[in-house]
Amino acid sequence: MTAHAFPTGTILGYPRIGRRRELKRAVEAFWAGTIDADELEARAAELRAATRERLASLGLGRDDSSIPESFSYYDQVLDAAIAIGAVPERFRRLQDEAGRVDLRGYFTIARGEGDDAPLEMTKWFDSNYHYLVPEIGPDTDFSLHAERILAELDEAKAAGFLTRPVIVGPVTFLLLAKAADGAPEGFRPIDRLDDLVPVYAELLSELQAAGAAWVQLDEPALVSESIDEPRDRVIDAIGVAYDALGSAERRPAIFVAAPYGALGDALPALAAAPVEAIGLDLVRGTVPEQLDPATEESLASKTLVAGVIDGHNIWRGDLVHAFERADALRSLSGDVAVATSTSLLHVPHDVDDETELDARLVSWLAFADQKVGQVATLARGLAEGRDAIQGELDAASAALADRAGAPGVRVPAVRDRLSALADRDFSRADYESRVAAQESLDLPELPTTTIGSFPQTADIRRARARLVKGELTDAEYRALMREEIARVIRLQEELGLDVLVHGEPERNDMVQYFAELLDGFAVTQHGWVQSYGSRCTRPSILWGDVSRPAPMTVEWSTYAQSLTEKPVKGMLTGPVTILAWSFVRDDQPLGDTARQVALALRDEIGDLESSGIRVIQVDEPALRELLPLKLADQPAYLDWSVGSFRLATGGAAAATQVHTHLCYSEFGVVIDAIRNLDADVTSIEAARSRMEVVDDISTSGFDHGIGPGVYDIHSPRVPSAAEVQALLERAVAEIPATKLWVNPDCGLKTRGYEETVASLEHIIEATRAVRAELAEPVLAE
């Protein structure tokens, strides 16, 4: 291996959707059949080329491997699975004779087709990004198919760039995988590490032959203590994988990135491995002050890549502190570089695009492009000395001071209300009393409902756009939304659902809608980030103390309720999810901010009850998402997250049925927290995992209402009535029917009406069949 110096400044990844969501539009056009694969490839190549040029203009080098090749059409974990041949048995038909999968097959694995369910999807560590879960069994045939990785490297070289390929590392890949169907009991995907490492070694050899000087292997699983694998086995896996890869004769230099927290007890093992550079997240973690002599000696010979620019949030931050943390690593190694703490996948492209945001707020912010600039600044400071960047450091410090004293950041009335809270504000009547009081809802066994949203049609989106442009008056817009609500209510009654929703046509997003109506928030025009696949969200900016100037949902819920005798759910987004899916102020504890949001929601619940709404859902799909990766940090998080939900709902009357919804939540991990939410009914994602969650529900003794999802709304496929019935029968076998609800996994906003109606018809058909089974008398033996 030829030695190459690591760049003095780099980033771990860059947003791949495009500044105006060009990739999203191209991919969805391909799915719709309006462009072919060649056109999609061409548009993606244009986007990658524009990204490289942009990063070079912001201060990264063209020929020093500082620009990462982190593009993906859908998901980086799926990319790794395709590259190593880890294709599930049901999709083997998509491989050609050489084992390759084309773009259409790639998307089929991601989205499913016919009776073939897609790969399961879940949250990427403690972020709002979703990855596809590989399926690995004892017989999974690992083989290298790196054509796309190599083609992108060649593409960059042809344009005059020497870039750095980015690939999910072998340890993280297996730790995030699940056992394939049919795997023997006790099998763990990490059991296949010895078989997988040679394929990665072959990949490294091909990258070196193609001219790569460095390769980035992402190993965030090394920082997590929440992965279901003994920690000592994770540590051992580091040595197995990287002793082998580092000892390979033909390879690029290896940069192992470990974002989302401190490496902790994994640092000595990684330091001992023959890799050239280690990425340390110094925003979420630290390097221990006392290291054993062997680790110190090992680190002294490596490049330490200081992740001091926050890749997870959009604040300009304390640049002086960031510089000092990077500079301090020089006590461990003479070769220190500056980087972002994580990939910039989690933040929007460019704050300069936000021309409608308040200029003062903009001065406090740094999106992806600004963070690249901060990396370049700090790298120059390390190379030339602090005096060379003193002007930039002073400007960042001035912005930080201005933010601290700005009006609205601290509101005495909000803080006084928090200070006055008592224990009684966090609890309702006991559950048994509530069940009795809610019998007036007169619901059948296995009551059916949906999670909240119905499809957002092109007409709805056009109406919202016309309102923003001034082409519709507020009254005209509200009349159109009422027409849509009436249509959704009629449809649900025709289908035979038991508890209805108004469909949320007036909501652009389940968080942004509330952010636009609460004090302390701002919303962006172009601040899109990838959630999964082609789906993007536009997180709001929570910058100050939060309060509710006026009711937010009462008008829509009461109108919907006036159209039907069946109960209609009032729909709110919970405090934890509002925080998780926003860019939240970093100048006070998250728990304080969550309680401010909870008080605003508590007021809204009171107004909904006063207006006659008898069922209220407070969605918390992100409860599991924010769970800290370090075990020691989890109790404090669960205390304030559960407490904020209970504060929001604590004023509800016993006769009001409070629902909550969680998705991608690995129920067993947070079962006690979900129980402590004390919601009357909890709906949870379960269809894509084929109802695996019911085992956790059953063994935990969970005794409140529960609705494990029976329809995976993240895939376009329509489940058959028989498929839904089989899921329900599995649930009924484990959970008392008196506690069981029937619902989709999540809201229906992203689906079309044709597939939605067909799926809901199958849900109703399956529910009626299972009700009939339950009604059959049991014959005595």
List active site positions. Answer: 714
DSSP 9: B
Reading the block at residue 376, the tokens are 């370049």
CA dist 159 to 62, 442, 739, Å? Answer: 10, 68, 61
Radius of gyration of the chain (CA): 26
Question: From CA 408, how far away is CA 37, in angstroms rounded?
Answer: 50
Place of tokens 């997988």: 196
Residues making up the chain, counted from first to last: 781
Q: Which two tokens stand for residue 478?
A: 């509200």
CA distance 611 to 502: 15
**Which residues partner with 303 through β-bridges?**
277
Distance (Å, whole) CA 772 – CA 308: 60
CA distances to 422, 584, 585, 625, 636 from 589, in Å:
19, 10, 9, 17, 11
- With vertex at residue 421, the alpha carbon angle to CA 437 and CA 680, rounded to the nearest 5 degrees, is 25
H helix count then E strand count, the chain: 27, 21
Strands 130-132 and 121-123: antiparallel
Tokens at 98, concatenated = 């050489």
The answer to whether 122 touches 133, Cβ cutoff 8 Å, is yes
Nearest to 117 by CA among 132, 139, 137, 95: 132
Alpha carbon 615 to chain centroid, angstroms: 28
What single DSSP character describes residue 85? T
Which tokens hold the place of 366? 């740094």
| Strands 214-218 vs 178-179: parallel, antiparallel or unpaired | unpaired
Q: Tell me the C-alpha to C-alpha distance, in Å, between residue 599 and each of 445, 545, 548.
A: 34, 12, 9
- Exposure of 745 in the CB half-sphere (CA atoms within 13 A): 24
